Every structure is written in structure tokens, then in C-alpha cells.
Structure 1
Amino acid sequence: MFAEVAHASRAGSERPNEDLVIAGPSWAVVLDGATAAPGVDSGCAHEVAWLVGRLGGALAARLAAGHAGTLAGLLEQAIEEVCAAHRGTCDLRNPDSPSSTVAMVRGARGRVEYLVLGDSPVAFLRADGRVEVACDERLERLPGGRPYSVELVRRLRNAPGGFWVAGALPAAARQAVCGSVAARGVRGVGVFTDGVGRLVDWYGWSWGDVLAAVESEGPGAVLGAVRELEIARGPVRGKRHDDASAAWLRLEPPAP
């Protein structure tokens, strides 16, 4: 189904990159680990990058093996596997336990399935140039508006009325935004972390602009555009440079 799968990831600072992109011939997974706020005790002996790596590996093993089941079901299994790996050493009841967004796509039986948990979107480029974006906006809709306090985020993470991420609660996978689209008529699929989303949220690009750039120049060019704008115009809020990742899955044109 996919004629080409390409991806790139770039750290936002000298810290280890807490994003991760893993892909195979028929699937891609993009993760964005949540950097801990200063002074917050996560109750975990591991860094965020450890969680992201373990979770990505657990998902990749299932997708590469062709496991049946929904993407949400695979994610729930993967989160449980990661929890089991450090339940004996870490306090997984701590609401600040390390966590990550998850965005996945999988090509199967003439359709492209997708899952989005947290603010890492999936964008479809139609053959006629139209763009459709699957996103999870719950983090943007917390009460009071930004900047959010540490206490608010702690209270509403993986809680009804709040937002959902992959961390210490396997059932959070059931809250993901999921669906599928017919592969016919789709030119390509992009999967991004919010480090790339800055182009749209802050710097005036459309998702059509992002997909046009990644289609013509590759994922690395999109990451370069983010960095250039961050330097030239600065951040709207938060870090000057964020970890940024992009995957592009180009579909085979339909047979005549």
C-alpha cells in the first residue's frame, strides 16, 4: 500500500530527544514524551526517554508482527507491557509519572487506520489536494486557558474532563481518537509531533503547506523550517526549540 515511508526527528536542545519515530513498510508510530516540569517528582526511576523507547519498541514489535486487533487495543497492550517493566521499582500511582503522546497509522485491507492520543496529529493529503487532519485537542481545552499550572495538569492528566496520554494507565488507550480512511484517493499521510505543529499553531502555515513541503522536500526539510522560524521569530510560549518529528507515508497510486 505504501510506496515510501520516510521520517526524521530532531532534538530541541542538548537534552536527549524525547520524541521517537519508528516505522515499517505498512505502519508508522510517532511518540512525544512529556518533559517533566522543574521540581516535579515523577515517582519513577527512569527518564522520559526510557518510557518513550520502551513504549515505541512494544508497539513496533506488535505492528511488525502483524498482530490483529485495533490500534487502541495494541496501544493498551503496549502500555501494560511497559508498566510491568517498572511497576516493581517505580510508583505508577504518581500522577506525574512519565508519559507520552502517541500517533499511529497502519495500512490494511485497502484502508489507512489511525490513532491519535495527545497533541501529535495525523494529516491526510488527498489526491485532489484536500487535507484532512485527525487530532486530539483536549490538552488545548483545559479550563482557565494557558499557561496551565502544574497542579491543573496533574489533576486532569488521564482523567475524565481532562486529557489523555500514554503513561501508567493502560486504559487511557481507549480514549484515543481513532478511525480509518479509504486508501484510494489518498496521496500520502503525515504524522507529526507538536514540535512540527508550531508551524501551523504559531507561524501561519496551513497543514496543506506542511504536507506540500514534506511531500516535495522530505521530513527533514519541515524540521528545518521549524528551526528557522523559531530562531527568526521566537516561541509564542514555552521552549525556544522543541523536539520535532515527522513521518511521511506515500501511497501507491491506484491501478488504472
Structure 2
Amino acid sequence: MIIAFETLGGSAERPNEDWVVAGPATVIVLDGVTAPRVVTPGCHHSVTWFTQNLGGRLLMLLAEDNDMGKALGDAIDQVADLHRDTCDLASPGIPAAAVAMLRKVGNDLEWLVLADTAIVLDTDDGLRVTSDNRVEQAAPDALARTRQEAIGTPEHQAAVARMSVEQLKKRNVSGGYWVAAADREAADNALTGRVPATQVRRVAIFTDGASRAVDTFGEMDWATCLDYLQEHGPRGLIQHVRRIEDGDPEGLKWPRFKKSDDATVAVIEI
């Protein structure tokens, strides 16, 4: 596999909470999840600490040819053990992450998606898009409210905080949505798939800050996005997303939670 990736923070004022790594036959992309400020954290570790530790363990576990779901569950357990004695892991405010992983095993490609990341495969039978938008169904009314206010206003900030609190009530529970945090059951609720590698030409993996070009701005469809990546690379796509965001800083044309989000793209040619 030929792999290229880029990650860029959404703001100079805060760290990039995305995390990406690639091995000869594996790509892992994580999108750190920050709890709203109105929620008691329960943990003194940062989101970047969590994504770095989770990602490193995932890379090692996948190299041992574990099942992808089992590898994610084991990695969640191992990171939880690092701060089980110092932090309240039952708190909804502990660090968490969305996950997207791709691995070549023998003659197959297998993948896993958990929370709001996306994997797009360009196959002989057309595009196969795997994305997990269950979080958007967790508090639809509160989500709609965030789209009625301009980014940066007190009203928008309050609406986003209310939405986040409502969504947290549905996090990692049956009928809600799932993220990697401290409960390995999240791994059992990931979206997974497998396809012969000979049927795949290229793959792209996105955090939601990068997939905005398609699913938020409607600037392009997935096929056009893959072509854009082939011509301009991951950095080019993220820069394109930033240009769109800069043209609509208040979210009046494209309502969203924040002007710019951490953005990561990985491109794999088979």
C-alpha cells in the first residue's frame, strides 16, 4: 500500500486532538472528543494524552494480527488501566475518541469505523462509504438549535453546550452512539467490513473536520473528493476546507459547531 496523510489543528489556540499513524499494512486515524466545559471532567488527562496512548496501543495490537474489534477493545482496556486509579472513569467527561482503522490482511482489506469518522473505498463495484453518524441522532432538537445561531455569539456557544450535554446522555449506551473511552463495549458497536484488496483501487480516511468538504459544505461528492485528493493530496484538501471556512466564519451559509475543526485525511493506494 502507498500511504499519505496530513493532520492540521482547527485553531492555533488549542492543541490538535486528532492523531494518525501508518504502518506497512495499517492506517489508524483518531479524532479526540472533548467534553463540554459545563461537565465535570472526572479525569485530569488531556484528550491528546488519550489519543496518543490509544493509537500507539492499537498499532501494536493490530500488528499482532488481532481481530480489529478485539484490538480496539483491548486498547481501550489498556488505556483505562493507565488512569483507573487516579480518575473517575464513570464520568461522562473523560477523554474519548472517534476511530477509523484500515488494515491489509492477506489478500483482503478490512476496516473499522466508530463515531464520526469516515472511510471511503473506491472499488470495482463503485464507492463504498462507511461513516458513523449516530451521534447526530442523539439530540436532534438540540443539534438543530445550534444551526440557528452565528458562530462566536454567546447564543451559539450556549446552544452547543446544551447539545453536547444532551448528547453525552446517549454516549456509550444501548440505542445511543459509541466512542472509544473507557468501556470496551464500544468496540462491539463499531462498523466493520472486509473486501478483497484486488477489488479496491484507492481508499481515503477522514475525521469530520476534513470530511466537511462533502458532508457539511456539499462542495463535492465523495467521488470528486477522491479525485481532488489524487491531484492535490491530503494537505491540499484540508487547505481547501480552510478556504471555505474562512469565507463563512460565522456559519451563516454552512451552520456548524465551530468555524474550523481539527482535520485529518489519509489516502491509500492499493
Deviation at residue 216 of structure 1 after TM alignment: 2.1
Matched residue, 1:60: 59
Cα distance in 2 for residues equivalent to 1:217 and 1:35: 30
SS state of the match for residue 117, structure 2? coil
Deviation at residue 144 of structure 1 after TM alignment: 3.4
Describe the superposition over 1:145-196 as per-residue Cα deviations: whole angstroms up to 9, x where unpaired.
3146233212100011110000011121110001111111211111110001
- Inter-CA distance 16–27: structure 2 relative to 1 (3 Å threshold): same
Describe the superposition over 1:52-72 as per-residue Cα deviations: whole angstroms up to 9, x where unpaired.
111011111222xx3123101
1:5 alignment partner, one of 3, 6, 11 = 3
Matched residue, 1:142: 138
Matched residue, 2:238: 223
Matched residue, 2:209: 195
1:250 aligns with 2:240: no
Q: Where does structure 1 differ by over 4 angstroms across 4 or more consecutive aligned residues?
A: none
Matched residue, 2:154: none
Q: Is the 8 A contact 2:120 2:205 kept in 1?
A: yes
Cα distance in 2 for residues equivalent to 1:72 and 1:249: 21
TM-score by length of 2: 0.87
SS state of the match for residue 209, structure 2? helix
1:119 aligns with 2:116: yes
Long gaps (5+) in structure 1: 252-256
Deviation at residue 35 of structure 1 after TM alignment: 2.2
Matched residue, 1:72: 69
- Inter-CA distance 127–219: structure 2 relative to 1 (3 Å threshold): farther
1:232 aligns with 2:247: yes
CA-atom RMSD in angstroms: 1.4
Identity %, equivalent residues: 38
Describe the superposition over 1:33-65 as per-residue Cα deviations: whole angstroms up to 9, x where unpaired.
0122123222001111110111011111222xx
Matched residue, 2:128: 132
Deviation at residue 221 of structure 1 after TM alignment: 0.8
Any residues of structure 2 matched to 1:64-103 within 5 Å, and which?
A: 66-103=63-100
Cα distance in 2 for residues equivalent to 1:50 and 1:229: 30
Deviation at residue 222 of structure 1 after TM alignment: 0.9
Deviation at residue 136 of structure 1 after TM alignment: 1.2
Matched residue, 2:260: 241
Give the aligned residue type for 1:250.
Answer: E
Matched residue, 1:21: 20
Q: Is the 8 A contact 2:20 2:30 kept in 1?
A: yes
1:209 alignment partner, one of 211, 224, 231 = 224
Moved more, 158-167 or 231-240: 231-240
Q: Is the 8 A contact 2:210 2:241 kept in 1?
A: yes
Cα distance in 2 for residues equivalent to 1:5 and 1:127: 20
Cα distance in 2 for residues equivalent to 1:143 and 1:87: 29
Deviation at residue 133 of structure 1 after TM alignment: 0.4
Moved more, 109-118 or 214-223: 214-223
Long gaps (5+) in structure 2: 147-161
TM-score by length of 1: 0.92
Matched residue, 2:196: 182
